[in-house]
Amino acid sequence: MTIDLNALSSRELDALINQAKKRKTTLTKRKPVATVRSKLTALAKAEGYSIAELFGGAAKAKATGPAKKRVSPNKGRKLGKVPAKYRNPANAKETWSGRGKQPRWLAALTKKGKKAEDFLIKK
């Protein structure tokens, strides 16, 4: 989060400083995460549960670093090759299959008033 301090008025700066001080006092009053985590784990064990049973999934007893991102099963999935549907009249090597973001050459030509259908490759 970036805030342009030069664009803020005196009143806005005072409000921002007050918000920052409140947030800082809240954070300093909190106990460290490792302490709270160990207390929760001990309480769960004392009651006969594991953290995984209580919160689902495989929970770690110790944090060994930043949490890993969840990867979608479809992410990185390779789709089959698709033949080109559109060709740049100025440069025949530039083609587009119609998938993904429209190429710059086609965007520029459509901005000038032409239609994408004008550049379809005839079969």
Q: What is the pLDDT of residues 7-24, one digit of tens each?
A: 889 999 999 999 999 999
59 — pLDDT class (breaks 50, 70, 90): very low
Residue 90's domain comprises: 86-119
Residue of 47, 69, 51, 70 lying closest to 60 (CA atoms): 51
Does the predicted model carry a pTM greater than 0.75?
no
Q: How far is CA 35 from each of CA 32, 64, 105, rounded to the nearest angstrom?
A: 5, 15, 58
Strand partners, 96: 86
Distance of CA 93 to the CA centre of its chain: 34
Residue 33 lies in a domain: yes
Residue 72 lies in a domain: no
Q: Give me the number of domains the chain comprises.
A: 2
Is a pLDDT exceeding 70 seen at residue 67?
no
Residue 107 lies in a domain: yes
Average pLDDT, the chain: 85
Separation between Cα atoms, residue 37 and residue 40, nearest integer Å: 5
Residue 42 lies in a domain: yes
Separation between Cα atoms, residue 94 and residue 106, nearest integer Å: 10
Residue 62 lies in a domain: no
Is a pLDDT exceeding 70 seen at residue 47?
yes
